[in-house]
Structure 1
Amino acid sequence: MILRRYRAVTSAYYRGALGAMLVYDTTKRQSFDHVAKWVDELRGHADNSIVIMLIANKDDLVDLRDVPTEDAVEFAENQGLFFFETSALNGDNVETAFFKLLEEIHNVVSRKVLDCSNGNENESNGGLLKGLKIDVKSSADFEVSEIKKLSTCSC
């Protein structure tokens, strides 16, 4: 009974997740060793198109490093993860990692939208992204009077 509740909570927790950052401490090998479990957890419960990024934190503590960069790069490549080394202390690469995650999520969502609009809806997106393609023009090209003409509002 407890296991069934755990699975339900876990599935609900990951449902709808578009991206994940798995962060480990470069000075603690044990934190890196747990990453594989978290990747399995994500792959088992999240959508198969979730973007997963591996983040090595505390890159500034070079003398205390316990996880070689090569180990993390090899793991990330084998698992198909994006990889960044960061330092939360001095902010190195933190913003870049977040922007890369957002960029990759945008790419995945854009592909799903295109697949849906081309009639190629499949089970991988679960039919969650349905709608019309919207062409957005710059405000210089589109005047308010044109917007009113297109509006279905009765106001």
Structure 2
Amino acid sequence: MRAVSVEEGKALAETQGLFFMETSALDSTNVKTAFEMVIRDIYTNISRKQLNSDTYKTQLGSNNRVSLVKDDNKGSSQVFGFSCCSSS
């Protein structure tokens, strides 16, 4: 049973300026691909913003976590670490 038709999903995504991909939680169709595409887009957007920012820098730690570092231009910094998933 389909909760939302493909046409409805595409139309809503288009009107809201959002990404649309048909997935199925029932048999895992496109779930991993959709997740990876969203993560890639987030990473690309953050990276692009970081290139234009003097306030925040990104650091890749030894545990493969990306850290967002706020530099207050006084020689001190504050690290924000984010981790959402495992690569295994």
Q: Same fold (TM over 0.5)?
A: yes
**Pairing 1:84–2:84 present:** no
Report the alpha carbon displacement of residue 68 of structure 1 after superposing the two structures with TM.
2.3
Change (3 A) 1:115 1:92: same
Change in CA separation of 1:68 and 1:116 when aligned onto 2, cut-off 3 Å: same
Deviations 1:120-140 (A, max 9, x none): xxxxxxxxx5138x8xxxxxx
Q: Distance in 1 between matches of 2:53 and 2:40?
A: 20
Q: Share of identical aligned residues, percent? A: 42
Alignment partner, residue 153 of structure 1: none
Counterpart of 2:36, as a letter, is: F
Q: Does the alignment pair 1:101 with 2:27?
A: no
Establish whether residue 71 from structure 1 lines up as the match of residue 8 from structure 2: yes
Name the CA distance, whole Å, in 2 between partners of 1:94 and 1:131.
31
1:110 matched to 2:47: yes
Computing the radius of gyration from Cα coordinates, the structure with the larger value is 1
Segments ≥4 residues shifted beyond 2 Å: 64-68
Would you tell me which structure has more strand in proportion to its own residues? 2
| Structure 2 runs not aligned, ≥5 long | 60-88
Task: Determine the structure 2 residue equivalent to 1:131.
Answer: 57
SS, match of residue 105 in structure 1: helix
TM-score, reference length from structure 2: 0.56
Task: Give the counterpart letter for 1:86 in structure 2.
Answer: T
Q: Distance in 2 between matches of 1:66 and 1:114?
A: 41
Structure 1 residue runs without a partner (length 5+): 1-63, 118-128, 135-155
Count the aligned residue pairs. 59
- Shift of the alpha carbon at 1:90? 1.3
